[in-house]
Structure 1
Amino acid sequence: MMGERKEATGPAIDFDGVGLVLGGTRILEQVTLHIQSGHAHALVGPNGGGKSSLVKTLLGQMPHSGRLSLDWNGEPGVIGYVPQALEFDRGLPMTVDDFMASMCQQRPAFLGLSRRHAPAIEQALLRVGMQDKRKRRMGALSGGERQRVLLAQGLIPAPRLLILDEPMSALDEAGIQVFERLLGDWRRDGITILWIEHDLEAVGRLADRVTGLNRRVLFDAPPAQALTPERLLGLFSTHPRVAGSTPA
């Protein structure tokens, strides 16, 4: 356990028979999945298995069949999103502060940080250990440092649902410690976390529940029951099936 939790503030999420076909290829097939409010729920599976596509259906970026619902238990809140990587022209003279301004405020970034958002941005960069590199160009940062900045922007405004797409992939050891500390904070604050991750050891230690996804849900259980050799072998050896194939 990672400390006593507060009352859950994030939404419960239900995927009910969600399917996705792109270019004649079935990406997702009848995905039915419940994510409990205030829990850290990990998605694991092979590359091309549909994990990022499932997240994009939740963000409204992919057409899909079936039903998808969020139960906020009251007023809807903020959804934070941390992508796997940041694609940008590294030659741009964009500093960390410029990037945070462009992502977190409506005021144009070239006018600098607004007084309204400056304290939150400063606190977010402090939490990820990037406060001393605010004037560095984004293109001059290491991959791990850029990933920390992405984590920081996911904190503003404070989310009640946080979607993480392999946030540990570019982090060094110090960055991993930052991420694990943040994850502990989010869990204690009752934020719902949907977390795509390939580091199964980290998932086993940090997630409340784990879903194995390869086009369809192959298992959904607490980490100790989900991450068994038999289940992982079945997950990573299952061949993706294209549209029109016969369900197994």
Structure 2
Amino acid sequence: MTSKETLAPENTESPVGVSLLAMASAQPTSSLDETPLSRAGSLLQVTGPSLEFAEVSLTLGRTTILDKVSFQVQPGSVHALVGPNGGGKSSLIKTLLGQMPHQGQLSLHWPGEPGTIGYVPQALEFDRGLPMTVDDFMAAMCQRRPAFLGLSKHYAGAIGEALERVGMRDKRKRRMGALSGGERQRVLLAQGLIPPPQLLVLDEPMSALDEAGIQVFERLLTDWRAAGITVLWIEHDLEAVGRLADRVTGLNRRVLFDATPQQALTPERLLTLFSTHPRSAV
């Protein structure tokens, strides 16, 4: 599972997709270990990139997953992606991360040198019988040094602060398999903070959270917006989207609407979005 990719600083307009992973892997393997980390607990003011999907299509066999998807994500905004299960939301994210082939163009427009993309997946699949602690998991996801060699001093402080922000620092020695689903989701949120991202991609981060976890997530979302981080957020909780998002795109194989929450989350548009055979956009 790839949690984050750092784009090579070649230019400020970076095509993404299949090339994203290649660009990240082309960097020296020691680059992260040699670069001082910003404090995970106090996000610095940054300017995230804008993101553009232009006529992005994805077909698997005879099935059309994405059909000429086009929309833009503004820099420093919280942009929600909503739609029915099977509507292509997670596939679009995988296309962005270079995990699925596509037609069309995806572009990141950075204000300066290309930065870091953080990714928080919907769920974590692993053998719950493994003796893997929260610290072990964070080490495996955040450092190049093998996790079995222990937590790097370079990352120990940042990992502790990230876990503190999600309310999991006191459970860092617990086995991952012994955590509840909501606690594991908080750990996934924490790993998305290291190294500090300029673009954060979230795939249904609230799905397993309890009420306390939801409050933690909403506080993080507020912090990310204040810090200027660009957030692309897949979410089923439309009430939360209405309160927290700056803009909403409705996706059911194709874009049916792209507007502010007040304009997007109307009964008519939601009925169109969640119908089995989507009609033209309202």
What TM-score results when the alignment is normalised by the length of structure 1? 0.93
Aligned twin of 1:125? 163
Aligned twin of 1:183? 221
Relative to 1, partners in 2 of residues 1:11 and 1:133: Cα closer, same or farther, differing over 3 Å? same
Instruction: Name stretches of at least 5 consecutive residues in structure 2 with no aligned partner.
Output: 1-43
Aligned twin of 1:39? 77
**Greater relative CO, 1 or 2 (CA 8 Å, sep 6+):** 1
| 20-29 or 231-240, which deviates more | 231-240
Aligned twin of 1:217? 255
Deviation at 1:206, TM superposition (A): 0.2
Aligned twin of 2:99? 61
Q: What CA RMSD, in Å, does the superposition of the two structures yield over aligned residues? A: 1.3
Deviation at 1:13, TM superposition (A): 0.5
Q: Per-residue displacement from partner, 1:162-210 (whole Å, max 9, x unpaired)?
A: 0000000000000000000000000000000000000000000000000
User: Does the CA-based 8 Å contact 1:49-1:240 persist in structure 2?
Assistant: no
Aligned length: 236
Aligned twin of 1:82? 120
Aligned twin of 1:246? none
- For 1:17, what is the secondary structure of its paired residue? strand
- For 2:184, what is the secondary structure of its paired residue? helix
The residue correspondences of 1:217-236 to structure 2 (distance < 5 A) are: 217-236=255-274
Deviation at 1:24, TM superposition (A): 1.4
The structure 1 residue matched to 2:211, chosen from 155, 166, 173, is 173
2:57 alignment partner AA? G
Deviation at 1:50, TM superposition (A): 0.3
| 107-116 or 176-185, which deviates more | 107-116
1:70 alignment partner AA? L
Aligned twin of 1:71? 109
Relative to 1, partners in 2 of residues 1:7 and 1:141: Cα closer, same or farther, differing over 3 Å? closer
Aligned twin of 1:3? none
Matched, 1:113 2:151: yes
Relative to 1, partners in 2 of residues 1:143 and 1:17: Cα closer, same or farther, differing over 3 Å? same
Q: Per-residue displacement from partner, 1:121-169 (whole Å, max 9, x unpaired)?
A: 0000000000000110000000000000000000000000000000000
Whole-angstrom CA distance in 1 between matches of 2:59 and 2:196: 34
Instruction: Name stretches of at least 5 consecutive residues in structure 1 with no aligned partner.
Output: 1-5, 242-248
1:24 alignment partner AA? R
User: Does the CA-based 8 Å contact 1:13-1:70 persist in structure 2?
Assistant: yes
Moved over 4 A (4+): none
Aligned twin of 2:58? 20
What TM-score results when the alignment is normalised by the length of structure 2? 0.82
Give the percent of matched residue pairs that are identical in Structure 1 and Structure 2: 80
- For 2:217, what is the secondary structure of its paired residue? helix
Aligned twin of 1:239? 277
Deviation at 1:238, TM superposition (A): 4.0
Matched, 1:137 2:175: yes
Relative to 1, partners in 2 of residues 1:8 and 1:100: Cα closer, same or farther, differing over 3 Å? closer
The residue correspondences of 1:94-113 to structure 2 (distance < 5 A) are: 94-113=132-151
Whole-angstrom CA distance in 1 between matches of 2:259 and 2:276: 19
The structure 1 residue matched to 2:86, chosen from 22, 44, 48, is 48
Whole-angstrom CA distance in 2 between matches of 1:152 and 1:10: 19
Aligned twin of 2:30? none
